[in-house]
């Protein structure tokens, strides 16, 4: 499976919000969510934040309300991890580098009506990539 997955003729649209509702967004995803390989990774940040990630194209992701979003950068500063500064929900990972793929990671745990059991989880062994992150 290529990364990100190759879009198919089918897509699904979703909306979500953080726990307090200050961050609101919607996006369209292809293949549709329950056919999309949702990344469940064992690296330090994914574990701590409880990320379950899909990767819509930036053009297909709209942050309708995001005034409370805060950025967290670490290690190589290749991406910013965005969370709600009011309630702490982990929301997005946005690329920072020039030439990075025009996709963003979205934590599907924030979606309305998400059925975690229906996700096609793609286990990623991020923990074994590179040196362990230590603080
Ligand atoms: Zn919030």
Residue-by-residue pLDDT tens, the chain, 135 positions: 677 899 999 999 999 999 999 999 999 999 999 999 999 999 999 999 999 999 999 999 999 999 999 999 987 778 899 999 999 999 999 988 777 779 999 999 999 989 999 999 999 998 898 777 787
Q: CA-to-CA distance for 93 and 78, rounded, in angstroms?
A: 10
- What is the predicted pLDDT for the residue at 111? 98
- What is the predicted pLDDT for the residue at 10? 97
User: Which domains occur in the chain, in start order?
Assistant: 12-120 (2.170.150.70)
Among 107, 109, 73, 67, smallest CA distance to 85 is for 67
- What is the predicted pLDDT for the residue at 76? 75
Among 20, 23, 21, smallest CA distance to 67 is for 23
Task: Give distance in angstroms: CA of 118 to centre of ligand 1.
Answer: 25
CB-proximal residues (5 Å) to ion ligand 1: 18, 20, 22, 84, 86-87
Task: Give distance in angstroms: CA of 91 to centre of ligand 1.
Answer: 9
Task: Give distance in angstroms: CA of 43 to centre of ligand 1.
Answer: 24
Task: Give distance in angstroms: CA of 114 to centre of ligand 1.
Answer: 18
- What is the predicted pLDDT for the residue at 77? 76
- What is the predicted pLDDT for the residue at 1? 62
């Amino acid at each position: 499976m290529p990364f990100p997955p190759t879009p198919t003729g089918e897509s699904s649209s979703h909306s979500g919000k953080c726990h307090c509702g200050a961050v609101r967004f919607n996006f369209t995803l292809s293949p549709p969510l329950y056919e999309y390989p949702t990344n469940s990774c064992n690296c330090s940040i994914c574990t701590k934040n409880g990320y379950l990630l899909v990767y819509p194209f930036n053009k297909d992701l709209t942050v309708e309300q995001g005034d409370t979003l805060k950025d967290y950068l670490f290690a190589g500063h290749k991406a910013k991890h965005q969370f709600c500064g009011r309630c702490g929900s982990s929301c997005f990972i946005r690329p920072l580098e020039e030439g990075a793929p025009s996709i963003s990671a979205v934590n599907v745990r924030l979606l309305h009506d998400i059925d975690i059991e229906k996700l096609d989880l793609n286990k990623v062994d991020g923990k074994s990539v590179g040196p362990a992150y230590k603080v």
